[in-house]
Amino acid sequence: MRDVAVVGIGMDKWGELWEKDLRDLYVEAALLAIDDAGVDHVDSMYVGCMTSGLFNAQEHLGSIMADYLGMNPIPATRIESACASGGIAVRMGFMEVAGGFSDIVLAGGVEKMTDISGDGATFALATACDQEWEAYNGVTFPGLYAMMARAHMHKYGTTREQLAMVAVKNHANGYHNPNAQYRMKITVKDVINSVKVAEPLNILDCSPITDGAAAVILTTVENARKLGKPIVRIIGSGQATSTIALHSRSDLAGMDATRFAAEKAYKMAGKTPKDIDLAEVHDCFTIAELIVMEELGFVEKGKSGPAVEAGETAIGGRIPINTSGGLKSKGHPVGATGVAQVVALVEQFRCEKGECQVEGAKVGLAQNMGGSGGSCVVTILEAE
């Protein structure tokens, strides 16, 4: 296997982008990444996207994105794993370069969520859970995570305030991110007093509906040196699944796909949780970040709430999490999220984060998951 580096990153402002369509979003991020890498061609490309069929009545995204990027006839493949689509697109690109099939691969992700017709975003997003056994019985995504939150509170004594503190921290970070959708600081009181979505989760516990894209360029470390780019290696990649429906899980307060994916990534990287300097994790709801912290081994089971309360995951803390603002503040254009996590880590390694800089960070972890945790991909990066 060849060593693989991230040599280009691309991301533009996320939000409700009424003047841009699906292909505009992907192409803009891809061109930014290509320009950043300074490459004159790409051998192959991936498009992470969850449900452009329901959002935009457009499938066949490999063909359309290669076309609008002017990249025909290179291979172009769309990857779907609900909210983990982007992270798995990066993993596929990593495998293609590491395996020697291509030298330069573009891995991007996109979702255009605001111009949905038909049954609306809640219906479209519910296709990530078990449609026949969960959604048809009336549960929504916030409802699924609300059940997990209740289980975690019951089992470990996690408090309502601790949930809110995840959102407060991520908004404090996202406030400094020019590409973030919601650049506003919030307080615990704001979260607790915000509109109820699914008890105990309020609107400020939930990531938003977002239009956006992100892209990275992957190549061999050898090529990266020739390009004169700072070397950021992918040293670990792990992917796993869990049962899609909550009712099949033995522990509602855990997410075993994340644990299994992390174990594989740590093993490949030769690292342990203690070696990780910072992480971008999938905070689609505040409870998700708490559970994920535990499954990644950053804290013991049940200790995530107190850790957030103690500031361990804030900038300057023991293990800063979501310095980009996370899904909560930055936005969550589903297929783009996993790619944007990698973009955020590379920005940190390049010391481009200003107020959110984690000084001396060399090893970062990105955790991206689909649905209510039915799929997960963990990527570990190391800067030279």
Site residues for a second copy per CB under 8 A:
1, 21, 44, 50-54, 56-64, 66-67, 71-82, 88, 92, 95-96, 98-101, 118-119, 123-124, 126-132, 135, 239-245, 248, 256-257, 260, 370-371, 374-375
- Determine contact, residues 340/11, Cβ cutoff 8 Å: yes
In angstroms, the CA 211 to CA 352 distance is 24
331 Cβ contact partners less than 8 Å away, ≥ 6 residues apart: 14, 15, 180, 181, 182, 207, 208, 210, 212
The one catalytic residue in 49, 332, 356, 376 is 332
In angstroms, the CA 83 to CA 368 distance is 7
Q: Is 351 a catalytic residue?
A: no
Report the side by side order of strands in the sheet with 104-112.
44-48, 104-112, 211-220, 4-11, 232-241, 375-383, 363-370, 278-280
Q: Is 83 a catalytic residue?
A: yes
Q: Name the token pair of 258.
A: 């994340």
CB 138 to a second copy: min, Å: 14
Looking at this protein, which amino acid is placed at residue 59?
E
Q: What is the Cα 371 distance to its own chain's centre?
A: 12
231 burial level (CB within 10 Å; 0-12, 13-18, 19+)? middle
In angstroms, the CA 364 to CA 381 distance is 5
In angstroms, the CA 34 to CA 24 distance is 15
Residue 183: closest CA among 330, 304, 376, 377: 330
325 Cβ contact partners less than 8 Å away, ≥ 6 residues apart: 170, 171, 173, 174, 175, 177, 180, 183
In angstroms, the CA 330 to CA 326 distance is 6
Helical H runs in 137-275? 141-156, 160-174, 188-193, 221-226, 256-269
Task: Just list the catalytic residues.
Answer: 83, 332
